[in-house]
Structure 1
Amino acid sequence: MLNQKPAPSTDTEYRSPVIRIEPSPVAIVALLILVAGLWVLNRLLPVILVLVAALIIVGTISPAVRWLEERRMSRGMGIGIVFTALTMVAVLILTLTIPTLMAQVTTLLDLEPALRSRLAKWLAGSNLTNPLAELLRNVHSGDLVRMAASNAYEYSTRAIEICAYILSSIFLALYIMIDRDRLRGGLFLVVPRSHHIRLSRVMLNLETIVSGYIRGQVITSAFMAIFVFLLLKACGVSNALAIAVFAGAVDVLPYIGALLSVGAAVSAALPHGPTIIIVVLVLMVLYEEFESRVILPRIYGRALRLPSSVILFSLLAGSVLLGMVGALLALPVAAAVLMLIEELRVELPGQQEQAEDVEIRERDDRGEEEYERRAEGMPAEQAAAIAVEIATDRHKEENTLTKTDAPG
């Protein structure tokens, strides 16, 4: 017989290795700093949003102020004219919409019993909708008023807070516009001199992105206002102009703007019978769908140079992360990120250098050499002005070449 050796112990043969993770002190400190930074960022989020809103206002009105400066008007006078004009437009919109909407709400409250009874009678005609009719008969306008009154304090506090943030953004934008040269000089002091031209190009492109975004908002709001006005006029609805202005103003709000505009138009059509209500509701819903699927991608795609897929994804991501504010900032932030990747020459995975990239790099080097020669020995404010001038000239040159090379 063959002698069989005992099988080796499984404890010694199949012992799994022990993995120990021992982070270095530097990694621990970096993690703590990251956590602390995220906490501070979360606490300062309202302040950051106010700053971002102020910068958007600055980017919006800067082209108008520059246009006035080119016509030999002082910068202070130009800023005053632009801010005064915007204030008058805002007051005009509020004057046209708020009293009419309040009167509309009062009228609806007066007509609510008759409208509710008519709707309940119509729903009671079917066995499927009969439970809804019973529910409507048991609902009274007084209950809704009491519910709204119970939450009035919370809503008013929130409204005052939002108004305070808006006013803070406006005044901060005004201070930034007035003290532009000093602030720009301070920014250039903390950036290495070899990157001043690139910084100027980034600032110029950010201004272009913001102005394009605001221009797109104005166009879409104008289309909405015109459509609502024509629709309500064709249906014989009163106060069509005020409702149209309100619909155009709230159209800038992603998602909730559609609900407010449709709700305002349908509410104005309620006293005119079910046929007008259905026509207004169906046409408003169709237009909202057309705007979101066709108008928004085309307008913002051209103004911000964003593909339609990026526009839709940015709106969804912004709304999930920061709600309505995130949805409002999603498109300019997405365009700014793509611009920074291009201007900072970030090499993406799988990207190969093209002949155009070599030409761009050579133009960057020539621009930096020209800036070093012209800004030598100058203070930060004057050096910043020279860098912006060089970046502006190059931007105009590139736009001219793009239009020349464009087909047709």
Structure 2
Amino acid sequence: MSTKPPLPAASEPGHPVARSTVRIEIAPATMLFALFLAGAVWMLGQLIPVLLVLICALMVVGTVNPLVQALERRGIGRGKGIAMVFVTLLLLVAAVLLLTVPALISQVTDVIEHESVLREQLAAYFANYRFTAPLADGLRNIHYTELLKESRNELLSASKHLIEIVAYGAAAFFLALYIMIDGDRLRGALFAVVPRAYHIQLSRILLNLQTIVGGYLRGQALTCLFMGLFIFILLTACSVPNALAFAAFGAIADVLPFLGIVLTMVPAVLAALVKSQTTAIVVFAMLLAYEEFESRALIPMVYGRALRLPSSVVFFALLVGGTLYGIMGALLALPMAATIFMVIDELRVSLPGESPDLETVEKLQKDAHAEAEYERRTEGLPAEQAAAIALSISDDRKKEEETGSPEPVPR
């Protein structure tokens, strides 16, 4: 009978230390979940245009819904109110296009026809100064034929994107109309899939989202309109030709945060510079003063409490949105950032180690009171009717916080 020699101890010198093998096994369910998650992320990336259409449609709904509700308070049915608001919106857009597009095309054509004369006048002005003389040579040596050949593919791509934007805009408009018509059923379906313990929070989020989106879009429309009117009046008063074309471009460019003022001022100042140096200085100074007035007074007054974001968050959100999705991302960055901050606030999310202050404690107490009232009033009711009651309770709570009036007596 033979015996095997004992294994050397790990502590004995001259002998290797025994190593343990670690095996990592991935469960089939985990692999399936990872594949499903990867497929969902890929599909989400493919559906980005559709999601943007949905977001734009929801923004239109948030903008026009207060108007429909105002008509309902005056005794007009919801269907008639929706029809009146959307027809008025279509007629308004058509009227603006009919009044501006023909004149804009005429003035743009005039600018193109006299481009060589305007370019020579501008080059002659630059040639009078030593630092701008190289710009004069560059202006005189521009060859549009070569530029058009080199940028033909870019022009075709831009035309394709423009058609896509128009098509997506029309789709967002009609999707918003359908959402408004089926609003009660869609809201009831949303509340049906969310546990009733979270209905009050959901209703507050929906109301605040409507305030954010509606306030943002109305603010954008008003600031762009005011910018276009100011440029048109300023250039007309200074006898600068083609004032409508520059005003329309300035109104559109004003949508872009930070870059809007640069894109607005450069064409207007160059057009005024062709007329005279004094005119260019006046136009530059007036546009700079108006931009300061817009950022300091007009925007806070127009937006009100719709967007409550620190300046650092605004700048970071614009950088992220513009980097990810270009102009559309920059336009949606601010309402998306405001929505994220609002949801965090409404869910009462606190950082680790952070103790709630007195205001947070009072909000939590009011939340508990509202949830108890909601449970009492919606016992046995379907989701659609319960959603309407939740929105009513949250709306009363919101008015109480804004006005400081006592909370209405529960019904």
Confirm whether residue 165 of structure 1 aligns to residue 153 of structure 2: no
Distance 1:218 1:131, change over 3 A: closer
Distance 1:153 1:322, change over 3 A: closer
Instruction: State the AA in 1 paired with 2:383.
Output: A
State the partner residue of 1:3: none
SS at match of 1:106: helix
SS at match of 2:306: helix
- How far, CA to CA, are the matches of 2:266 and 2:131 in structure 1? 25
Instruction: State the AA in 2 paired with 1:45.
Output: I
Residue of structure 1 aligned with 2:94, choices 84, 91, 96: 91
What's the offset of the Cα at 1:274? 4.5
1:36-47 equivalences in 2 (<5 Å): 36-47=39-50
Confirm whether residue 253 of structure 1 aligns to residue 253 of structure 2: no
SS at match of 2:352: coil
Instruction: State the AA in 2 paired with 1:334.
Output: A
Confirm whether residue 357 of structure 1 aligns to residue 352 of structure 2: no
State the partner residue of 1:4: none
Q: Deviations over 1:264-317 (max 9, x none)?
A: 534654663444345434543564466457755776574312222222222222
1:169-318 equivalences in 2 (<5 Å): 169-238=172-241, 240=243, 243-255=246-258, 257-266=260-269, 269=272, 272-281=275-284, 283-284=286-287, 287-288=290-291, 291=294, 296=299, 300=303, 302-318=305-321
Distance 1:11 1:144, change over 3 A: farther
- The Cα RMSD (Å) is 3.4
Residue of structure 2 aligned with 1:328, choices 328, 331, 355: 331
Indicate if the aligned counterparts of 1:97 and 1:246 stay in contact, CA closer than 8 A. Answer: no
Q: Say how many residue pairs are matched.
A: 395
Gaps of 5+ in 2: 1-11
SS at match of 1:303: coil
Per mean C-alpha deviation after superposition, the further-off stretch among 395-404 and 130-139 is 395-404
Instruction: State the AA in 1 paired with 2:102.
Output: P
What's the offset of the Cα at 1:132? 3.6
Indicate if the aligned counterparts of 1:301 and 1:307 stay in contact, CA closer than 8 A. Answer: no
Gaps of 5+ in 1: 1-7
Instruction: State the AA in 2 paired with 1:369.
Output: A
Indicate if the aligned counterparts of 2:122 and 2:274 stay in contact, CA closer than 8 A. Answer: no
1:377-396 equivalences in 2 (<5 Å): 377-396=380-399
**Which TM-score applies when normalising by structure 2?**
0.83
State the partner residue of 1:110: 113
Distance 1:18 1:138, change over 3 A: farther
Instruction: State the AA in 1 paired with 2:48.
Output: L
What's the offset of the Cα at 1:243? 4.1
Confirm whether residue 401 of structure 1 aligns to residue 376 of structure 2: no
Distance 1:368 1:54, change over 3 A: same
Indicate if the aligned counterparts of 1:60 and 1:210 stay in contact, CA closer than 8 A. Answer: yes
- How far, CA to CA, are the matches of 2:93 and 2:262 in structure 1? 22
- How far, CA to CA, are the matches of 1:320 and 1:184 in structure 2? 33
Q: Deviations over 1:45-72 (max 9, x none)?
A: 0011010000000000010100000000
Q: Percent same amino acid at aligned positions?
A: 49
What's the offset of the Cα at 1:27? 5.6
Q: Deviations over 1:17-52 (max 9, x none)?
A: 999794743665554443332211111100110100
What's the offset of the Cα at 1:12? 7.1
- How far, CA to CA, are the matches of 2:386 and 2:98 in structure 1? 46
- How far, CA to CA, are the matches of 1:18 and 1:98 in structure 2? 78
